[in-house]
């Protein structure tokens, strides 16, 4: 830093994957959000996007707008961001700091992926299994029950599935991260792949806190339609089940088969334990608001 | 677009230069700013940063926050941005659109430069000439006299010196773009190069409008300390004068020798026509406000 631009030297034979997100106070985080968690999350959501394409994170740029000189806030924010960056070997190569009445964070993350093996939303095939990592619904639960610490951690300090993303190269056909919610993000895969899918609701892994709550409506809404979990949702041929089960054990990360990709126009059916269709709320669109 | 990330394949033997800027309503542009001009300027300031390093622009990513669905505004903004992008062969490869109470624009521009020939602020050498392209002070004048069309155009639709930046490779020793103001940006070169400089005030090229105004105080302040002109400020060995004069003719762009780099600790002296030191206002720092 200190020059007009950052310079980087790409490695031969690798494609670069780039992603950008903007987080705005009052929209994506509360004015009193803990700055350290926010630094973590701001980078995490971008690393999650790289993971969903099978890219290994390498570099990041940060543009930040702050209401006034806020050294303590910025120090905490940076501590959270750098702790995550160091964990995955991500180098912060540039940035811009400016004033803004609303705190605004824009990050670009850049990763590398061998030419030709990136994962796309459009790669699903009829007959594929639908898989998801970890468990769902915790982040959405935290919005309604901020007192549940396990859920709050999922919302404020999500863990990007960086290793999993890299290891899915050559195994998965299509991938996306669960940022808008399971049905919304699977919908993106179905639209881009021009295929349908059936999910088995009972199989979907969910935050442990739901069992004690006993609120089946809330649970279903969080699990199917809640966003911000940043797990990886992917499709793979049934032949890959043993390889994916072995990968799950190796990474110490649950990988669960929750449904099937089917031929036909984009359409998603979620079935209960008796095979009956379950109603669900549509995904989340940042621009239109809740559907 | 449509996937989690944009993918690009770097060309072998080229380094990538990356730069990011954040523009916030009320700080960098007025709420009623013409969206087409803003689209132009948002990309222009980033292309200017690439030019200052000698990089050829290739790709851009846009993250934008808008108060509500604003299709007309976004269409105009995009028209301004894409017109400039097309002129320089820049491909928009990704983005993020979100809601924000204040319009906020964050752009990343990516350029290519052959390995080892990028221009740095730190490259100035004692004995170098100091050069500047085009003319200065117009953008700052527009802030005080928005009725002067020529000045307003400089402020709202600056022309990034893309071709000049590429052609300065191997000719210039150090370069920066004039975004904070002449003395502030030359100060960055001096600090990074650990050298001093003397400028000849009368030689500094300035917007034609000043001649008719006859306000020497205003003129001096705009020319020396006004920002946002996005001309290139660079240093080169005296041996390169013929090459730079030929380049000026070829590009149809004034390149003017305005001073000299001198040995010694970072310090800038601006001299009037009789060789006496002129007082000037320090540069502009986006975080501290006007110095």
pLDDT of residue A258: 98
pLDDT above 70 for A284 = no
Q: Give Cα separations from B29 to A100, B71, B146, B226 (angstroms).
A: 12, 19, 14, 16
pLDDT at position A288 is 36
Predicted confidence at residue B2, as pLDDT, reads 60
pLDDT of amino acid A285 = 39
pLDDT of A42 reads: 96
In this predicted structure, the answer to whether residue A143 has a pLDDT above a threshold of 80 is yes
CB count in 10 Å sphere of residue A74: 15
Q: Is A18 on the interface with B (CB under 8 A)?
A: yes
Chain A CB contacts of B65 below 8 Å: 22, 24, 27, 104
Stretch A2-20: mean pLDDT, rounded?
A: 88
Bridge-based pairing state of the strands A174-177 and A232-236 = antiparallel
Best to test chain B binding among A20, A25, A53, A266 (most B CBs inside 10 Å): A20
* Predicted TM-score (pTM) of this structure: 0.88
Which of B61, B113, B176 comes nearest A108 by C-beta?
Answer: B61
pLDDT band at A2, cuts 50/70/90? low
Q: Do B19 and A2 make contact, defined as CB atoms within 8 angstroms?
A: no
CB contacts, 8 Å: A20 with chain B: 61-63, 94-96, 106, 108
Average pLDDT of every residue of chain A: 92
Domains annotated for chain A, with CATH where assigned, are 14-114 (3.30.1330.10), 121-281 (3.90.650.10)
Contact between B8 and A22 using a beta-carbon 8 Å cutoff: no
| B205 at A interface, C-beta within 8 A | no
First to last CA, chain A: 42
Average pLDDT over residues A83-92: 97
Measure the CA–CA gap between A271 and A282, rounded to whole angstroms.
15
Q: Judged by CB atoms within 8 Å, which residues 159-188 of A form the interface with B?
A: 176-177
Quick one: A165 exposed, middle or buried, by C-beta within 10 A (0-12, 13-18, 19+)? buried
**What is the ipTM, given to two decimal places?**
0.82
Mean per-residue pLDDT, A187-200: 96
Res A71: pLDDT:
86
Q: Going by C-beta distance under 8 Å and a sequence separation of 6 or more, which residues neighbour residue B7?
A: A15, A16, A17, A18, A53, A113, A118
Q: Is the pLDDT at A287 greater than 70, yes or no?
A: no
Low-confidence residues of chain B: pLDDT under 50: 283-291
Contact status of B4 with chain A (Cβ, < 8 Å) = yes
DSSP string, chain B: --SSSEEE-PPTTEEEEEEEEEEEBTTTB-TT--HHHHHHHHHHHHHHHHHHTTPEEEEEEEEEEESS--HHHHHHHHHHHHHHHHHTT-EEEEEEEEE-SS-EEEEEEEEEEETT---BGGG--TTPEEEEES-BSHHHHHHH-TT-HHHHHHHHS----HHHHHHTTTT-SEEEE-SS-HHHHHHHHHHHHT-EEEEEGGGS-B-THHHHH--HHHHHHHHHH------EEEEE-GGGHHHHHHHHHHHT--EEEEEEEESSSSEEEEE-TTSPBPP----EETTTEE-
């Amino acid at each position: 830093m200190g020059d007009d631009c950052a310079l980087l030297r790409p490695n031969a034979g690798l494609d670069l994957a780039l992603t950008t997100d903007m987080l705005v106070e009052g929209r994506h985080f509360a004015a009193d959000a803990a700055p350290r968690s926010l630094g973590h999350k701001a980078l995490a959501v971008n690393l999650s996007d790289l993971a969903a394409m099978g890219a290994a994170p390498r570099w990041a740029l940060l543009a930040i707008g702050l209401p006034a000189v806020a050294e303590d806030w910025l120090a905490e924010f940076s501590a959270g961001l750098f702790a995550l960056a160091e964990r995955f070997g991500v180098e912060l190569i540039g940035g811009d700091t400016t004033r803004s009445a609303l705190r605004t964070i824009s990050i670009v993350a850049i990763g590398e992926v061998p030419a030709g093996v990136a994962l796309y939303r459009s790669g699903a095939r009829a007959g594929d299994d639908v898989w998801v990592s970890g468990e769902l619904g915790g982040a959405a639960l935290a919005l309604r029950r901020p007192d549940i610490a396990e859920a709050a951690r999922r919302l404020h300090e999500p863990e990007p599935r960086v290793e999993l993303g890299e290891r899915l190269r050559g195994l998965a056909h299509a991938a996306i991260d669960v940022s808008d919610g399971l049905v919304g993000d699977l919908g993106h895969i179905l639209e881009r792949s021009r295929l349908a899918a059936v999910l088995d609701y009972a199989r979907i892994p969910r935050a442990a806190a739901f069992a004690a709550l006993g609120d089946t409506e809330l649970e279903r809404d969080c699990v199917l339609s809640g966003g911000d979990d940043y797990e990886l949702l992917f499709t793979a041929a049934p032949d890959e089940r043993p390889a994916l089960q072995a990968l799950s054990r190796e990474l110490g990360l649950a990988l669960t088969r929750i449904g099937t990709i089917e031929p036909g126009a984009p359409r998603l059916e979620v079935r209960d334990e008796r095979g009956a269709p379950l109603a669900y709320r549509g995904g989340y669109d940042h621009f239109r608001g809740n559907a």
